[in-house]
């Protein structure tokens, strides 16, 4: 009976020592932020840059990322913004570069957002690089995560394609019968 107790105590001691040594040597996995919205503030960026419909994301050690949305969508900030189903780029402290998958509407054109930056130390401004244009906006509108909408409402919903499209024929045209 004493040998059995000694073996069980010895087993528990080995398990305890193994778990301590894993923690000391850094072998214990560190909990990663669970959402993309928790990662952005760690890089001094507002969490509301990405919509609420994220289904998955990948963040590589070099900062390259892929964010997958449930579906493409629109969010109205100071400007109407379109998010493709997949967004890619490179995350750095205070910036997102090589950005693909986000567009902004200016007048009648959709323009690719190439880069997003914030001031360091933080200020009330955020900067969007769209081609050769650098647009400064108030950062407050990007601090909360926004819900998407599937389509564009109002004047934005009419593209050239919809203007040039012929009306759909109807089967309910009444015929006049004369006798």
Structure confidence by residue, pLDDT tens digits, 20-73: 444 444 445 445 558 999 999 999 999 999 999 999 999 999 999 999 999 999
Q: Which CATH architecture has domain 32-142?
A: Roll (2.30)
Residue 164's H or E segment, with its range, is helix 160-164
Q: Is the pTM of this model over 0.85?
A: no
Q: For 144-172, what is each residue's pLDDT tens digit?
A: 999 988 776 543 444 443 333 444 444 44
Name the one residue in this structure whose structure tokens are 């090589």. Answer: 98
Contact 85, 103 (CB under 8 A): no
Residues 163, 169, 170: CA angle, nearest 5 degrees: 130
């Amino acid at each position: 009976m004493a040998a059995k107790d000694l073996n069980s105590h010895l087993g528990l001691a080995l398990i305890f020592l193994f778990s301590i040594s894993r923690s000391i040597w850094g072998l214990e996995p560190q909990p990663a932020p669970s959402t993309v919205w928790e990662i952005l503030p760690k890089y001094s960026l507002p969490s509301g840059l990405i919509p609420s419909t994220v289904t998955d994301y990948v963040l590589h050690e070099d900062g390259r990322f892929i964010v997958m949305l449930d579906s493409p969508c629109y969010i109205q900030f100071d400007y109407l913004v379109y998010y493709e189903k997949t967004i890619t780029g490179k995350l750095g402290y205070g910036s997102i570069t090589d950005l693909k998958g986000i567009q902004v509407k200016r007048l009648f054109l959709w323009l690719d957002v190439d880069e997003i930056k914030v001031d360091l130390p933080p200020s009330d401004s955020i900067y969007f690089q769209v081609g050769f244009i650098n647009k400064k906006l108030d950062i407050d509108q990007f601090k909360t995560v926004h819900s998407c909408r599937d389509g564009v409402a109002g004047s934005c919903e009419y593209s050239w394609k919809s203007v040039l499209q012929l009306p759909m024929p109807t089967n309910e045209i009444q015929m006049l019968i004369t006798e």
